[in-house]
Structure 1
Amino acid sequence: LPGYDIPPGVNQPAKLRLVLTVLLGTAALGRILEKTGLCSQITFGRYVRQGRKLGLDPKLFIQDVQFNKVPVRVYQPKATSDGPRRGILFFHGGGWVFGSLDTYEKVCRYLSRESDSVVVSVQYRLAPEHKYPAAYEDCLSASQHFLQHLEHYGVDPARVTVCGDSAGGNLAAAVSQTLAGRSDLPRLRAQILIYPGLQALDFNLPSYQQNRGVPLLFRERAAFFALLYLNGDALHMQEVLEGSHIPPDMRLKYRKWVSPDNIPEKFKVRGVKPLRPTDFIAEVYETVKRFCEPNLCPLLAEDSVVHQLPESFILTCEYDVLRDDGLLYKKRLEDNGVPVTWYHLEDGFHGIISLFNFCGLAFPSGKRGLDSVVNFLKSL
């Protein structure tokens, strides 16, 4: 498949090739449906990713409720507990465009059962229908409600964690930063960021160059999703990929945080080309300047905010365009004295956790990643 890349070092390459074929087939069928006017490509993509409804879980109480008008699904272990349990606020991935409570049902059940925690999965509004900051506001609103009603769910106020994968990791990082300055709510115990997307300034970091064609997230799609979330459309995608959307003075200002120089050398051995700077285009910047807001790009938060953040767990995958976002944030947290547990899947790819137990397409590396999250939770 030209333009796509299944690296030899990835976990179960033949299975990943099958996943890629399904992904491309779905996209092609979506385009046909859109052309014939039957439904939009995004609607079809959401339908395919929906995941089927699961039966009752013998070990969990599961209920759908609303927190401040935001739909959530609450998972509570049935077994009696010696005292209040851990609480986990979970924000699902899917590029702010895809994903639902059902898509992540298996992941949330696993987290709740294995770590003996109360899990709240949040169904935030999706782009492009609902642009930034809708998803962030929904996650923050649901989190505040949960933190105000922990007793009702038998949750220990000293052990509440935010957790998310991909776009959900972005939302978890943003919510964590916002709550860090709040003295009227219980302080978060930890944040768990699973291959998060944390910046939209530079789509040419080493991991973007090395993994541009590796599923489940291609370099172009990363910029496409970020623009859909920000503006509801993907205009100027090419300019954003090339980097002409950021003024030179701003690029210089953020260089201390967003730079290949902050990535350990061992992650550059697969080859990185130094890129010639592209010309800045002011009218493109005008349409995307909110990319510099930390609620959208948490990597750009000031040190005074990062310094206040709770203990952190970051999972990165070697074959993932977002690998370096995670590595750069790890460095920022550590530089500010925040304890970080880092788990790197040497053979992992973006989205590997969301394929956990998905239609027989589970990858052993994905289960290892999920179990590393469970082990971290148990240590809190």
Structure 2
Amino acid sequence: MQLTEPIRQILNHLETIHSFNAKNPLEDTRKYLETMSLQLSRKKEPIAMIEELNIPLESHQIPVRIYRPKGKDIQNSSAIIYIHGGWFIAGSFETHDAVVRKLANKTGSVVIFVDYRLAPEHAFPAGLNDCIDTVKWVADHAESLGIDANQIGIIGDSAGGALATGVSTQVGELLKFQVLIYPAADHQLNTKSWETYETGPVLNKEGGIQAWKWYHPEGADHPNPLAIPILIKDFKNTPPTLVLIAEHDALRDEGEELSQHMKDAGIPVRISFYKDMVHGFMHMGEILNEVQKATDEIAEFAHQHLKTAGK
């Protein structure tokens, strides 16, 4: 494994991060992701407005954060639903704040970040249902949100990529495009890339196995394709998709296989391979120029599929 000097610098820094006063491994994982994101993301970009609200459902509420980009009319905007990663067990508004601000400004779209329920407290399908319900709610309330209901896309990174894939098979008719950033797709963790990167960088197999058990406890005996995208047979309403793959990533092979499954099903798919990159590189804008490159590529893809984006 030949790592570039910036990547080695990042990995050395990651080894110095220790979660403060974590009570158990789950809390340690959650705090670690927050600390990594805050320390390695570039200074947060200013945007026009941030709003937080709760989507009311019968049994609970879904917190969402709405990012409105600089220099855009608040009315009739295109929109992007963002589904965060964190192995289904971690992640929050703050872990992805820098990434989402950058995407909002570059795409010119309102970005709606979903704070879906996490495992193990809420196993599958809770988080997926929250994401599906958010897409439906945004489409139903588009006018009051200042959004064009016909100009909505979805982005998911890592575990969020698995969730986005499930969402798009269920309500893809509401979506104009999909971006999957180094997506998780398979609970078996038995690919060649998992063999190569079993102990890192960034991810490790032991943690991945535990995360999948927490997220989808029935997965070993009764795997559900909506939880495990590699098993999806019918991509039906899935919109045109861009998949970003990182070279030194344990999830590389399953991301490529998922992309091929979509292609085989007739979905327009573009795969973009980020040489030298590791899992989670979108959080590393303080050091890596590739973060801006990926942001630009995502924005270009969005502009191709959203009439109002970027205007």
Query: What TM-score, normalized by structure 2, do the two folds share?
Result: 0.87
The verdict on how the C-alpha distance between 1:338 and 1:133 changes in structure 2, with shifts beyond 3 A counting, is same
Q: How does 1:188-207 map to 2 (within 5 A)?
A: 188-200=175-187, 202-207=188-193
Task: Specify the alignment match of 1:45 in structure 2.
Answer: 29
Kindly provide the CA deviation profile for residues 141-190 of structure 1, in whole angstroms up to 9, marking residues without a partner as x.
1121111111222222222111110011111111111113xxxxx52101
Of structures 1 and 2, the larger Rg is shown by: 1
Matched, 1:330 2:241: no
Kindly provide the CA deviation profile for residues 209-250 of structure 1, in whole angstroms up to 9, marking residues without a partner as x.
12222221122222221112123xxxxxxxxxxxxxxxxxxx
Q: How does 1:16-165 map to 2 (within 5 A)?
A: 16-23=10-17, 25-26=18-19, 39-50=23-34, 58-68=46-56, 69-81=61-73, 84-165=76-157
Aligned length: 297
Taking only aligned residues, the RMSD between alpha carbons, in angstroms, comes to: 2.6
Shift of 1:55: 11
Whole-angstrom distance in 2 between the partners of 1:356 and 1:123: 23
Q: Which runs of 5+ in 2 are unaligned?
A: 306-311
Question: Does 1 or 2 have the higher relative contact order (CA < 8 Å, sep 6+)?
Answer: 2
The verdict on how the C-alpha distance between 1:103 and 1:56 changes in structure 2, with shifts beyond 3 A counting, is closer
Shift of 1:309: 1.4
The verdict on how the C-alpha distance between 1:22 and 1:127 changes in structure 2, with shifts beyond 3 A counting, is farther
Whole-angstrom distance in 2 between the partners of 1:160 and 1:11: 39
Whole-angstrom distance in 1 between the partners of 2:64 and 2:288: 28
Matched, 1:289 2:259: no
The verdict on how the C-alpha distance between 1:11 and 1:321 changes in structure 2, with shifts beyond 3 A counting, is farther
Q: Which amino acid aligns with 1:297?
A: I
Matched, 1:342 2:267: no
The verdict on how the C-alpha distance between 1:93 and 1:133 changes in structure 2, with shifts beyond 3 A counting, is same
SS at match of 2:134: helix
Task: Specify the alignment match of 1:238 in structure 2.
Answer: none
SS at match of 1:130: coil
Shift of 1:139: 1.1
Whole-angstrom distance in 2 between the partners of 1:63 and 1:70: 14
Tell me, yes or no, if the aligned pair for 1:170 and 1:298 is still in contact at 8 Å.
yes
Whole-angstrom distance in 2 between the partners of 1:294 and 1:353: 27
The verdict on how the C-alpha distance between 1:212 and 1:175 changes in structure 2, with shifts beyond 3 A counting, is same
Q: Which amino acid aligns with 1:95?
A: W
The verdict on how the C-alpha distance between 1:10 and 1:166 changes in structure 2, with shifts beyond 3 A counting, is farther
Q: Which amino acid aligns with 1:169?
A: G
Whole-angstrom distance in 2 between the partners of 1:106 and 1:162: 18
